[in-house]
Structure 1
Amino acid sequence: MGVSGTTMRHSRNDRRKRLTEQVGRVLADVGTPVLVFFEADMRESYDRLRSALDDQYPESSVYVAVKANFLPDVLGLFSEWGARAEAFANCEIEAAMRAGFDPGDVLVTGMNWDADRIDRALASGVDTFLVDNRSDLATLRSVAVEADRRCDVLLRVNPELDVPTHPDIATGTPGSKFGMELSGGDVMAAARTVAGDDHLRLHGLQTHLGSQIDSPTPYQTATRALVELAADVERETGVAVDTIDVGGGFPVTYDEQVPPIEEYVSVIAETVHSACTDLGIDPPELCLEPGRYLFAPSGALLCSVGLLKETSSATYAVLDTGKNTVLAQQSVPIYAPFTDGPSREYSVAGPLCYSGDVFADGVLLPALDPGDVVALDRVGAYAIGRETHFNGMPMVPVVVVDADGGYEVVRERETCADVLPSDGTGD
């Protein structure tokens, strides 16, 4: 993970102003390392997306991807703002419930389902499921019959596209483990099964291309394919598909600019409208499932410099946490929000016992002293959930700064008692 400290100067300066104005008390009270989320940034991202949808496609819903940040106190903000929730499994469903989402506004996703996962969802009042494959569909039907419940079903489609992103976060590609391939017959077979079953209702078609997709073009292709498939399903089964869900994957700016969210919404909305007109079907509800887009810009990891170490090739600024806390595939802005002066190059590293625990090389920062604060910014997506206890390191506290500059600790700093399993003595 590397970035020049001179990139993104405008946004970095705006962020530095917010950090210096709003987190001084957090640092004094909580200390470092600490992961800070700004409510104002989350609200801005959500409002921009919701406004674009209201302008382009009002019959639409935003499902927050719970995997991007499953802390109920953070998710609860989106529930208050009118979003819905996309949840993978038992604990994510419970997080959505604790956050205040209505069970009818929760979409269960994932694959390799067992009866327990479905039973728990139904017991929570959740009855809308995104089905990845025909085996999971059979499991869902079996549980629905046993419980005498009727479940809404979306079918996940793999459009088999060349998706412009890192291979580890591309999903709608040929041979991907996700979804039913568009070129095969599984999607239509699954649609026939659902359409003819008293305990299932065909609610929609879904695809998810990946994450951090820096062009709207794949969305245009995938959306058109979904609408065409919806027309085929209606012709084959007599059941109109009332929802098209194109997933998430909308990018955020790290070290390079990306198209604005409004451009993605415009492309998707225009494609649905034009395809429905061409095919003579009614426009469905449009659903999106953003995660990174909503959370990444809102989160900053604030650390303290502990050690400044000169080597033959670099000067290391060693922080008080490492990649056990933030493990990102993208470059992120790194800066010293409270330090000024002439810049020099640093390799910004964590203290962990492996050589890869270096956040970035060649970062331009003001001359640092031990105790100075360094911010790793725009790390709000997937930081929660990808943390580890490597080297026995406790997880850091999480703070939410509200729109008025007040703050709440929504997760306390761990101690060794949290890291280590019980020894069985009860002590």
Structure 2
Amino acid sequence: MTHTHVAGSIHADATAAGPQWLDRPTDVNALDPALWSRCVERGEDGVVRIAGLGVDEIAASQSTPTYVVDEEDFRQRARAFRDAFSGWQVYYAGKSFLTRTVARWIKEEGLYLDVCSGGELAVALAGGMDPARIGLHGNNKSVDELALALSQGVGRIIVDSLDEIGRIEQLCSSNGWKARVMVRVTTGVEAHTHEYIATAHEDQKFGFSVTNGQAMVAMVRCHYSEHMELLGVHSHIGSQIFDTHGFEVAARRTMKLLAQFAEATGTELPELDLGGGFGIAYTSADTPATPDALASNLREIVEHEARGYNIAVPTMSIEPGRAISGPTAFALYTVGTVKVVDIEGGQQRVYVSVDGGMSDNIRPALYAAEYSAAVVSRASHAEPVLCRVVGKHCEGGDILVRDVFLPADIAPGDLVAVPAAGAYSRAMASNYNLLTKPAVVSVRDGKLATMLRRETLEDLMRLDVGE
């Protein structure tokens, strides 16, 4: 099966009537279980429910757009990675979606947590995360962010530049702190993904190059600094990755680096983080690997490379990324207008406009990322028609779902849901066109809880302090 290119159908074979992977459904009411969280199902009345609570009830109480998180699904995915990678440290990606509630879930399920800013760190701490189980990333950490991390005793800071190393040393010298650090390295491996989210090739902002010796220079400086404890190295080859092939080269080069460091200094570093960024199913073309399969393959890769360089297998870390949060939520919208337009070849496309858009999910506009969608407030006996789900912003590129088959009788007032929306959607939300950011709610056992309340116009006006 051909995976949906993360950069969208503009980077894959497509026809005027949609990409080749998009099949016309035999049942327009069917929900592909690969795309929806475990507790989502369509009832006999045609209404989709999550953990027993109907989307119509959610829309009535919360309005739309609203992001709806399946708590049990989230917890099960966290446990699946924790158990598959038993003996490894599994880091949840705070940047994918983080609230105090999420931090509490992560803590309760026994995972670690990656944060990329002072704001994410503050939320993680407010959610009860043990600082020792938090790692701080970022290519340009401010002095204030580093000070917060050091004062709270975070478990590791992933250093990304010589400038940052200097800042950490100065802060530690002034305050009597000791920093536990890992050195982020670029291994020259470029995962098959979009240019903007492939992060291990040389021409980009993250990390120290292995190939030109920068990584070894940074490691030696951290190792011999009186203010730092060097734990090991950190590598990340990209995001939305469906197999482990790219990790073979990354593991070989990072393990070689560890062996070279041990030979040069007489010290075997205890830790290695291979990153992660495992893919999820956004469309029927995507077939992500299971946590068990990923764990088995990565263990074999690491053990093989350790034998080859005659070093002990380090304490390993992995970062599943969107694979935990992504599939656990859907975005719920209300249809406002429906418009039929002519396209090439004498065909037609139905434009379905909803009450959200690129301000609550920038990924389709930023990467041309693909999603799916379904009418969830009722069942339909109409024929499926090719649709494009678009937002309400004053931008031609405000597209949420580029190509999807929806029932021909779709109409204003229908509720449409976009699955696999839990990662990098609400987390990347903006106030473009001065739209307010949507609420995020969780559902478990038929009960709804607010995770993030909906922004109001009053919230926006409080920030506007001009006259």
TM > 0.5 between the two?
Answer: yes
Q: Is the 8 A contact 2:156 2:180 kept in 1?
A: yes
- Structure 2 counterpart of 1:190, from 169, 194, 218: 218
Tell me how far apart the structure 2 counterparts of residues 388 and 136 of structure 1 sit (CA, whole Å): 29
The aligned residue for residue 159 of structure 2 is 131
Give, in angstroms, the shift of residue 259 of structure 1: 2.8
Q: Is the 8 A contact 1:252 1:258 kept in 2?
A: yes
The aligned residue for residue 306 of structure 1 is 336
- Structure 1 counterpart of 2:357, from 311, 319, 322: 322
Q: How big is the alpha-carbon RMSD for the aligned residues of Structure 1 and Structure 2?
A: 2.1
Q: 1:28 to 1:179 in 2, by over 3 A?
A: same
Tell me how far apart the structure 1 counterparts of residues 140 and 432 of structure 2 sit (CA, whole Å): 28
The aligned residue for residue 201 of structure 2 is 173
Tell me how far apart the structure 2 counterparts of residues 424 and 154 of structure 1 sit (CA, whole Å): 42
Q: 1:186 to 1:423 in 2, by over 3 A?
A: closer
Deviates more, 1:252-261 or 1:68-77: 252-261
Q: Are 2:76 and 1:44 equivalent residues in the alignment?
A: yes
State the secondary structure of the residue aligned to 1:252. coil
Q: 1:16 to 1:418 in 2, by over 3 A?
A: same
The aligned residue for residue 217 of structure 1 is 245
Q: How does 1:89-108 map to 2 (within 5 A)?
A: 89-108=117-136
Tell me how far apart the structure 2 counterparts of residues 65 and 422 of structure 1 sit (CA, whole Å): 29
Give, in angstroms, the shift of residue 90 of structure 1: 0.8
The aligned residue for residue 289 of structure 1 is 319
Percent of aligned pairs with the same amino acid: 26
State the secondary structure of the residue aligned to 1:140. helix
The aligned residue for residue 22 of structure 1 is 53
Deviates more, 1:28-37 or 1:3-12: 3-12
The aligned residue for residue 411 of structure 1 is 452
The aligned residue for residue 122 of structure 1 is 150
State the secondary structure of the residue aligned to 1:219. helix
Give, in angstroms, the shift of residue 66 of structure 1: 0.8
State the secondary structure of the residue aligned to 1:220. helix
Q: Is the 8 A contact 1:153 1:201 kept in 2?
A: yes
The aligned residue for residue 12 of structure 2 is none
Tell me how far apart the structure 2 counterparts of residues 361 and 139 of structure 1 sit (CA, whole Å): 45
The aligned residue for residue 294 of structure 2 is 264
Give, in angstroms, the shift of residue 5 of structure 1: 7.4
Tell me how far apart the structure 2 counterparts of residues 230 and 261 of structure 1 sit (CA, whole Å): 26
Offset from partner CA, 1:295-334 (integer Å, 9 cap, x none): 1101100111111223334322111111111122331121
Give, in angstroms, the shift of residue 414 of structure 1: 1.4
Tell me how far apart the structure 2 counterparts of residues 321 and 188 of structure 1 sit (CA, whole Å): 47
Q: Is the 8 A contact 2:190 2:238 kept in 1?
A: no
Q: Is the 8 A contact 1:37 1:298 kept in 2?
A: yes
Q: 1:118 to 1:250 in 2, by over 3 A?
A: same
Give, in angstroms, the shift of residue 421 of structure 1: 4.3
- Structure 1 counterpart of 2:392, from 351, 355, 361: 351
- Structure 1 counterpart of 2:169, from 133, 141, 146: 141
Q: TM-score, with normalisation over the residues of structure 1?
A: 0.93
Tell me how far apart the structure 2 counterparts of residues 141 and 274 of structure 1 sit (CA, whole Å): 36
Give, in angstroms, the shift of residue 279 of structure 1: 2.2
State the secondary structure of the residue aligned to 2:226. coil
Give, in angstroms, the shift of residue 213 of structure 1: 1.6
Q: Are 2:393 and 1:393 equivalent residues in the alignment?
A: no
Tell me how far apart the structure 1 counterparts of residues 204 and 163 of structure 2 sit (CA, whole Å): 17
Q: 1:365 to 1:424 in 2, by over 3 A?
A: closer
Q: Report the structure, 1 or 2, having the larger helix content.
A: 1
